[in-house]
Amino acid sequence: MNDLVVVGEGLTGLFAAWLAAKRGARTTLIAYGRGGLELSSGCLHLASGASPRLGITSSRLPHPYALVGVGTVFRAIQALFDLLEASSLPYSGSLDTNLLLPTAAGETIAAAFAPHSLARSDLAEHGPMTIAGLTGFRDFDAALASRRLADRLERSIATVDLPLPGPAPRRDLYATDLARRFEDPHWREETCRAWKPQLIGVRKLGLPAVLGLRRHAVVLQAIEEALELAAFEIPTLPPCVPGLRLETVLREACLAAGVDVLEGAKAVGRVDGRGSSARASGVVAMAAGGPQLHDAGAVLLATGDLLHGGLVAQQNGLIRESVFDLPVVHNANRATWTSPHAADPQPYASFGVRVDASMHPLDDRGEPLLPNLYAAGGLLAGARRTDEGSRQGVALSTAWRAVEAALP
**For the domain that residue 139 is a member of, what is the CATH number?**
3.40.50.1860
Q: Which of 312, 267, 269 is nearest to 287 (CA)?
A: 267
Which H or E run contains 86? Answer: helix 70-86
What is the reported pTM?
A: 0.95
Please give the backbone phi and psi of residue 111, each rounded to the nearest 5 degrees, phi first: -145, 140
Write down which residue in 172, 207, 234 finishes a domain: 234
Range of the domain at 374: 4-89+244-406
Whether 344 is covered by a domain: the verdict is yes
Whether 390 is covered by a domain: the verdict is yes
Amino acid at 224: E
**131, 158 contact by CB (below 8 A):** yes
pLDDT in tens, 209-222: 999 999 999 999 99
Write down which residue in 234, 264, 292 finishes a domain: 234
Pairwise CA distance, residues 276 & 264, whole Å:
33
Of 162-166, 167-171, 285-289, 367-371, least confident by mean pLDDT is 167-171
Backbone region of residue 24 per phi and psi (left: phi > 0; alpha: psi in -120 to 50; beta: other values): left
- Are 282 and 349 in a shared domain? yes
Q: How far does CA 283 lie from the centroid of its chain?
A: 25
Whether 82 is covered by a domain: the verdict is yes
Q: Is the pLDDT of residue 275 over 80?
A: no
Whether 98 is covered by a domain: the verdict is no
Amino acid at 246: L
| Cα 168 to Cα 174, 180, 193, distances in angstroms | 14, 17, 18
Q: Which of 214, 308, 247, 236 is nearest to 38 (CA)?
A: 247
- Are 215 and 258 in a shared domain? no
Helix axes 391-406, 70-86, angle to 10 degrees: 100
| Cα 246 to Cα 10, 88, 381, distances in angstroms | 11, 11, 25
Pairwise CA distance, residues 334 & 403, whole Å:
34
- Are 396 and 254 in a shared domain? yes
- Are 313 and 336 in a shared domain? yes
CA atoms within 13 A on the CB side of 203: 3
- Are 224 and 248 in a shared domain? no
Write down which residue in 181, 203, 234 finishes a domain: 234
pLDDT recorded at residue 316: 82
- Are 20 and 114 in a shared domain? no
Q: Is the pLDDT of residue 262 over 80?
A: yes
Q: Is the pLDDT of residue 167 over 90?
A: no
Pairwise CA distance, residues 373 & 368, whole Å:
9
Whether 96 is covered by a domain: the verdict is no
Which H or E run contains 319? Answer: strand 319-321
pLDDT recorded at residue 307: 85
Mean residue pLDDT of the chain comes to 94
Q: How many CB atoms lie within 10 A of CB 133?
A: 21
- Are 160 and 268 in a shared domain? no
pLDDT recorded at residue 343: 77
**Number of residues written out for the chain:** 408
Query: Domains in the chain: how many in total?
Result: 2
Please give the backbone phi and psi of residue 285, each rounded to the nearest 5 degrees, phi first: -95, 115
pLDDT recorded at residue 348: 83
- Are 255 and 378 in a shared domain? yes
Amino acid at 260: D
- Are 290 and 146 in a shared domain? no
Pairwise CA distance, residues 312 & 323, whole Å:
10
CA atoms within 13 A on the CB side of 313: 15
Whether 97 is covered by a domain: the verdict is no
- In this prediction, residues 247-271 reach a mean pLDDT of 97
Pairwise CA distance, residues 88 & 53, whole Å:
26
- Are 220 and 250 in a shared domain? no
CATH number at residue 84: 3.50.50.60
pLDDT recorded at residue 168: 77
Specify which residues 6 forms β-bridges with: 29, 300
pLDDT in tens, 20-57: 999 999 999 999 988 889 999 999 999 998 899 999 99
Radius of gyration of the chain (CA): 22
Whether 239 is covered by a domain: the verdict is no
- Are 68 and 112 in a shared domain? no
- Are 141 and 276 in a shared domain? no
Work out whether strand 279-287 and strand 266-272 pair parallel, antiparallel, or are unpaired: antiparallel
Whether 95 is covered by a domain: the verdict is no
